[in-house]
Amino acid sequence: MKKGPQGKSPEPQEEPRYTTGGIPIKGVYTPQDIKDLDYTEQIGNPGEYPFTRGIYKGSRGIIFAQRPVLGYGLPEETNKRIKYLFKYGMASPSGMPSYNLTMDMTSAYGYDSDDPRMAQWVGVSGPPCNSIQDSEAILEGIPLEGVYHGALSYAPNWRVAHYIAIADNRGVPRRNLVGATLNDSLHGPIGEGVHLFPPRACLRLIVDTLKFVTAEMPRFRACDVQAYSSREAGCTAPQEAAFAIADMIEVVQGCLEKGLDIDELSPHLTFFFACYSDFFEEVAKFRAARKVWAQIMKERFKAKDERNWRMRIQVKTSASTLPAQYPLLNIFRSGLQALSAIFGGASGLNITCMDEAFSAPTEEAARIALLTGKVIEHETGIVRVADPLAGSYYVEYLTREMEKAIWDYLEKIDAMGGYIAALDRGYLQREIAAANVKQSYDLDSGKQVIVGLNRFQPEEEEEAPIEIFEQDPMRTHKIMSERLQKLRAERDNGRVHDVLAEFREAVSGDGYMMPIMVEAAKAHCTTAEIFGILKEVLGEDKNCLIPPDWFARV
């Protein structure tokens, strides 16, 4: 063997190491790796600029809400699931009952449940939302005041219009409503989300809703940028954070151009991230994203109130990382991802259920996921201290590298003219496609190991059976179709005609749409009637996930 200097054998060369997102790392970190970090300027105390260590003061420790994304079947079935999970602590840190409601694909794409082309999708992945009657059924027996209502719907916020109309009908002041909605269809083209309209039309719809909520609903967050779907579509952790921030920059600029005040707007903005299994990379992602956003709000948009420099992050642990093999292991995977999100400073948390590879969650799986968060909160002791990983040589190094990667993407997107321009040029789509190719290669080659999927696969007789949630969309389609027929026969169709004409006029010009949508909800207009006008006037995105002949082929 060849000897090195002084007769010593040379040190073996280590193979390069990288995080899942491609950040180069070493096997050991020391004070030398973060020697140039200035604590006050670059890290700071919890609850202080640049908010790297979280948006809450240190004395409060780690604080997070548990708001599962839920919904399936008939509206009354979703109502039952909400009430069931309330009993197991589905709540915000203050104890306020909280939930995040999704919708079925039929409603999300702007169709009514009686459309025969959509029969097999009615009630799948969420409840139908044809009219205010469905929203009333979902909220039956659930107070509007004292409950956090999350609506994972897309622009235009038809479900939010329902929510406001129900509040008006119940005599609940709009200023007392608490909750959030995605209202972000700009992220759809690079994710798994719904995107029906061209990007500029999407931006108009987002800004319109923010204008309404900023003026009338001070406790409701009306733009929750949906980074989760782009991550599930294959982007890396740095891409997820950077593209979400670029999206929100576009939204803020659109609002400012319409005369909204940055300090009045900022409290209504939140981010909805995914959390994957590369534990420390995810922690660094949340810390770095908060720091970048704080700098943007302070320096680029000149927000005066430092509370408005804070990035509010809701997190859903990843569904795509939960394989069908060994589904009970998914309880651990989701719990590990939840820990990472909590250490990273997530404000709201949705722990994905173990059986989501198969179907909508069973009641038991939903309960286990929710109680997993309760174990973390009450049995681990980690919530007693804010940002307990701060000062780790590795975590601080990784946070800095993540920040650099985010800024690199943001500078490239800015140079193209912003988020929508980058979409139009296909840049964001190409970046995610390249990340997808690499991830597929790493899985196929075994470089990345997923237990049960590409290594340690179970024998057929070893696969433990679990209960699978059974749904019958054709039954839901039949029931909802009958309800729609009755609704159309009994409502005041003259009023429907008038309010839809007013809505068309607003959409065709530069009108204010949200107030008319609320009136349309009160008049029992349906989803297809509202979306039909929007599709006709605004046009449909040529890159929409549903090709023109999709319905004919399914």
DSSP string of 53-102?
T-SS-GGG----EE--EE--SSHHHHHHHHHHHHTTT-B-TTS-BEEEE-
Q: Compute the average pLDDT of residues 422-443.
A: 94
Least confident of 101-105, 134-138, 370-374: 101-105
For residue 286, which of 395, 189, 374, 182 has the smallest C-alpha distance?
395
Q: Compute the average pLDDT of residues 72-93.
A: 95
Q: Compute the average pLDDT of residues 512-537.
A: 97
DSSP state of 130: S
Q: Find how far residue 213's CA is from the centre of its chain.
A: 19
CB-based contact 539:197 (threshold 8 Å): yes
Q: What pLDDT is attached to residue 139?
A: 97
CA distance 486 to 467: 36
Residues, the chain, total?
554
CA distance 115 to 533: 17
Q: What pLDDT is attached to residue 551?
A: 45
Local structure of 225: helix, strand or coil:
strand
In the predicted model, what is the mean pLDDT of the chain? 92
Q: What pLDDT is attached to residue 552?
A: 43
Q: What pLDDT is attached to residue 7?
A: 53
Query: Phi then psi for 253, rounded to 5 degrees?
Result: -60, -40
Q: What pLDDT is attached to residue 496?
A: 98
Query: Phi then psi for 274, rounded to 5 degrees?
Result: -95, 165
Q: Please report which confidence band the pLDDT of residue 157 belongs to, taking 50, 70 and 90 as the band edges.
A: confident
For residue 514, which of 318, 108, 223, 296 has the smallest C-alpha distance?
223
Tally the C-alpha atoms within 13 A of residue 495's C-alpha that lie toward its C-beta.
13
Q: Which domains does the chain have, with CATH numbers?
A: 39-451 (3.20.20.240)
pLDDT of 451 above 60: yes
Question: Which tens digit of pLDDT belongs to each residue from 172-221?
Answer: 999 999 999 988 888 888 886 567 899 999 999 999 999 999 999 999 99
Q: Compute the average pLDDT of residues 338-344.
A: 96
The helix or strand, by DSSP H or E, that contains position 99, with its residue range, turns out to be: strand 98-101
50 cis-preceded (ω within 30 degrees of 0): yes
Local structure of 492: helix, strand or coil:
coil
CA distance 301 to 249: 9
Among left, alpha and beta (phi > 0; psi -120 to 50; other), residue 22 is left
Q: Please report which confidence band the pLDDT of residue 12 belongs to, taking 50, 70 and 90 as the band edges.
A: low
pLDDT of 542 above 80: no
This prediction's pTM: 0.94
Cβ-in-10-Å burial (0-12, 13-18, 19+) of 17 comes to: exposed
Pick the most confident of 54-58, 152-156, 317-321. Answer: 317-321
Q: Compute the average pLDDT of residues 254-259.
A: 96
pLDDT of 465 above 80: no
Q: Compute the average pLDDT of residues 247-271.
A: 97
Q: Please report which confidence band the pLDDT of residue 155 belongs to, taking 50, 70 and 90 as the band edges.
A: low
Q: Compute the average pLDDT of residues 240-253.
A: 98
pLDDT of 326 above 60: yes
CA distance 153 to 162: 12
Residue 73's identity, in one-letter code, is: G
pLDDT of 111 above 90: yes
Q: What pLDDT is attached to residue 156?
A: 66
CB-based contact 252:211 (threshold 8 Å): no
How many Cβ atoms sit within 10 Å of the Cβ of residue 480? 25
CB-based contact 50:37 (threshold 8 Å): no
DSSP state of 121: G
For residue 216, which of 183, 267, 175, 260 has the smallest C-alpha distance?
175
DSSP state of 139: T
Q: Above pLDDT 90, what percent of the chain?
A: 81
CA distance 1 to 7: 11
CA distance 238 to 288: 9
Q: Please report which confidence band the pLDDT of residue 5 belongs to, taking 50, 70 and 90 as the band edges.
A: low
Q: What pLDDT is attached to residue 460?
A: 75
- Residue 396 vs residues 310, 341, 391: alpha-carbon distances, Å: 19, 16, 6
For residue 124, which of 106, 143, 104, 101 has the smallest C-alpha distance?
104
pLDDT of 517 above 50: yes
